[in-house]
Amino acid sequence: MKNRLINSTVLALLFAAAPLAAHAGKIKTITAPMEITMSQADNASSLASMWEDGKRQEYAGLALIEDAQKLDKSARKDLRKAEEKQAKFTAISEDRRAQFVTVSGRIGLAKTPGEGASAMKLADKALDDWKDDVEALGKATDRVREAEARIAAAASALRNGEEQVALGREKMRRAENKASGVSGAEAHPAQAQSGEKYDFVDMR
């Protein structure tokens, strides 16, 4: 169940970021730098396209990272609330159980049918209250699990976004290196480290 929640949330984030990647050129004009477009390389046009594709991939990755961070913040807030309710109803349900045990014990002490009926009525009420609190505890526990799954999904989406940023920047760097005649052995691959500070691009 938890894995399904994680996978569905990650897919939702990926699909949300996809339009940004597909329409990045419409939302924000992306043009390769002049050192590529005006380079003496025979395949300058292809290198320019490579650089622009890399930039779009970087934008999509940054958008995914931003969405993942928002999801993580929201999920952690929900988790705190759910855990508070879980603790609250755990304590209440334990008290209700103790009340039920105490009240139901009076049934066996009844000396008249009236006392027995009264004790049974109180026991039924205590049992209903106990059931309600156990149900509320179950719902709170479900919310805790859902929030935890969203946090895990956000972490997965964040890693995916960082990977997209790294791949996009590596494409741009390769295009720049090839345009300037730098060999692949001399190039330094781009890396998007976890926790790296990204400058988010407002694509709206």
- What CATH number should be reported for the domain holding residue 51? 1.10.287.620
Within-domain flag for 44? yes
Residue 53, pLDDT score: 92
Tell me whether residue 193 is in a domain: no
**Residue 186 maps to a domain:** no
190 lies in some domain = no
Query: Which residue type occupies 48?
Result: A
Other CB atoms within a 10 A radius of the CB of residue 123 amount to 19
Mean per-residue pLDDT pooled into runs of 10, the chain (204 residues): 57 49 54 83 85 94 97 97 97 96 92 93 95 97 98 97 97 91 49 42 38
Among 68, 66, 51, smallest CA distance to 169 is for: 51
pLDDT at site 204 = 33
At residue 41, the 3 state secondary structure works out as coil
Number of domains in the chain: 1
192 is a domain residue: no
76 burial via Cβ count (<10 Å: 0-12, 13-18, 19+): middle
CA distances from 102 to 109, 113, 122, 130, 168 (A): 11, 19, 10, 13, 67
**Token pair of 151 as six digits:** 């946090």
Let me know if residue 29 belongs to a domain: yes
d(CA 158, CA 77): 18
The predicted pLDDT at position 11 comes to 55
The residue type at 21: A
- Sequence-distant (6+) residues with CB within 8 A of 187 are 173, 174, 177
Residue 69 located in a structural domain: yes
Residue numbers of the domain that contains 170:
2-180
In a domain, 43, yes or no: yes
The two three-digit tokens of residue 103, written as one number:
């009240």
Angstrom distance (rounded) from CA 139 to CA 81:
12
CA of residue 44 relative to chain centroid, distance: 40
SS3 70: helix
Distance (Å, whole) CA 19 – CA 72: 21
The answer to whether 168 and 56 have CB atoms below 8 angstroms apart is yes
